[in-house]
């Protein structure tokens, strides 16, 4: 058990835990907004950690073996991770706005202060 | 090194199980935004799984496919959201 494998194991474990929480929250929560809250934030955080373990793996074996294949793996994973980090919250915001405008209300809500503010 | 590749493979298989759990919400969502949320989650998990499988099989091309998949699924999500908004306005 080297230090590298401990770090990778830890990061993959955090990633699995949060991705699992996201998909369980998607199953169990009562309405769209809470499901969006659970699914988007947890899967983004978990995917950051699983990709970070791949990046550390690639840079380590690039430095040790001198094989440029691992360097390409790490750099392309960084690009994919940046795309994921930028696009995921933006898409979630668009979904939440569309859900509100198409008339889906939170399940136990009794007042809608956004609509009252618009009427003034 | 082989042990590390096995870690990535096991994590990828577990992410596939989470995709199957999310697929249930995609099929049985009561409203349309529920289904869109489930699709967004599945897309994120697929991108993360593609990166892990690319590392496990040492194929860089999988990660290139993951980049394109992330951008295209983002555009798809935005267009579905825009469609829902416009449809509510017309009604």
CB < 8 Å to A36, chain B:
37
Summarised one tens digit per residue, pLDDT across range A42-82 is 999 999 999 999 999 999 989 888 888 889 999 999 999 99
Q: Any CB–CB contact under 8 A between B57 and chain A?
A: no
**pLDDT at position B50, please?**
93
- ipTM of model: 0.89
Q: Any CB–CB contact under 8 A between A65 and chain B?
A: no
DSSP secondary structure string for all residues of A31-87: SHHHHHHHHHHHHHHHHHHHHHHHHHHHHHHHHHH--HHHHHHHHHHHHHHHHHHHH
- Could you give the number of structural domains in chain A? 1
DSSP secondary structure string for all residues of A88-101: HHHHHHHHHHHHHH
Region A38-42: what's the mean pLDDT? 91
CB–CB contact B41 A23 (8 Å): yes
Structural domain boundaries, residue B64: 2-90
- Could you give the number of structural domains in chain B? 1
- Which of A14, A30, A43 best probes binding to B when mutated, by most B CB atoms within 10 angstroms? A43
pTM metric for this prediction: 0.91
Q: Does a structural domain hold residue A56? A: yes
Distance CA A93, CA B4 (A): 36
Q: How many alpha carbons lie under 13 Å from residue A70 in its C-beta half-sphere?
A: 18
Structural domain boundaries, residue A18: 10-105
Q: Any CB–CB contact under 8 A between B24 and chain A?
A: yes
Residue B40 per-residue DSSP state: H
Q: Any CB–CB contact under 8 A between B90 and chain A?
A: no
Q: Which of A3-7, A105-109, B9-13 has the lowest mean pLDDT?
A: A105-109
Q: Within 10 Å of residue B29's Cβ, how many Cβ atoms? A: 18
Summarised one tens digit per residue, pLDDT across range B13-54 is 999 999 999 999 899 878 888 999 999 999 999 999 999 999
Q: Any CB–CB contact under 8 A between A99 and chain B?
A: yes
């Amino acid at each position: 058990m080297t230090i590298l494998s401990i770090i990778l194991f830890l990061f993959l474990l955090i990633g699995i835990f949060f991705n699992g929480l996201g998909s369980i929250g998607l199953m169990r929560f009562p309405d769209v907004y809470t499901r969006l809250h659970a699914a988007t934030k947890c899967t983004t955080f978990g995917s950051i950690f699983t990709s970070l373990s791949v990046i550390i793996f690639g840079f380590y074996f690039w430095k040790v073996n001198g094989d440029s294949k691992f360097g390409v793996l790490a750099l392309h994973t960084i690009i994919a991770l940046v795309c994921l980090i930028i696009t995921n919250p933006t898409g979630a915001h668009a979904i939440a706005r569309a859900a509100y405008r198409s008339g889906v209300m939170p399940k136990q809500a009794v007042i809608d202060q956004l609509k009252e503010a618009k009427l003034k | 090194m082989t042990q590390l590749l096995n870690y990535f493979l096991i994590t990828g298989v577990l992410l596939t199980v989470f995709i199957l759990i999310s697929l249930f919400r995609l099929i049985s969502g009561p409203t349309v935004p529920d289904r869109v949320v489930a699709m967004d989650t599945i897309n994120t998990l697929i991108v993360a799984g593609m990166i892990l499988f690319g590392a496990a099989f040492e194929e860089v091309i999988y990660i290139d496919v993951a980049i394109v998949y992330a951008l295209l699924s983002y555009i798809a999500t935005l267009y579905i959201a825009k469609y829902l908004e416009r449809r509510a306005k017309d009604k």
